Structure 1
């Protein structure tokens, strides 16, 4: 537990202006699949999230995630931007970690760097 707290204290703070962050440098861009999107659709259907209801039944939910990447290419931390749906926020942060595993271009230097990712869930009712 103490080691975890020390590592957290040493990590760079989450930037306040995410627009200045470079996109996460994937080797191969992740592809959203119907099963990945289905989780978000199910959360909305269950009433745990309430995005604006589209008139045509076409939903688009976007979640921004800041990702701290170590010099070794491993994700050290993810922070989702709040969209008033904690389950989808955390799900998205987890997807970033999964998509990045073994799929990031190395960055120069020994410092951990923050990047940004936008996960887009797009489906019809």
Structure 2
């Protein structure tokens, strides 16, 4: 979430809060999140990346100075940039699934117990 917030601030400072730049920055963060997640918690990556996307939208979303207008800007950005959100979540889920299949293949399909009952 911190990385997406940083990406949002950088996008705001360097590109004038471009939703496309923010979306492009979101995809590698999703990939890295899926690669960094512990093997014991594979579902945390596809769960956390949409939350990180929303948090990072705070500096990117259009809105005024008040809390209500900023919140409406974030909600509007979530609605209009949902394609990036879906793609990033799909990338994270796919990488986690591939890692899970690879781990099952290395263990010989014996599961977590190592073949012992």
Note whether the superposition's TM-score is higher than 0.5.
no
Q: Which has the higher helix share?
A: 2
TM-score range, shorter chain: 0.3 to 0.5
Computing the radius of gyration from Cα coordinates, the structure with the larger value is 2
Q: Report the TM-score when normalising by structure 2.
A: 0.32
Q: Report the TM-score when normalising by structure 1.
A: 0.31
Which has the higher relative contact order, 1 or 2, with Cα contacts under 8 A spaced 6 or more apart?
1
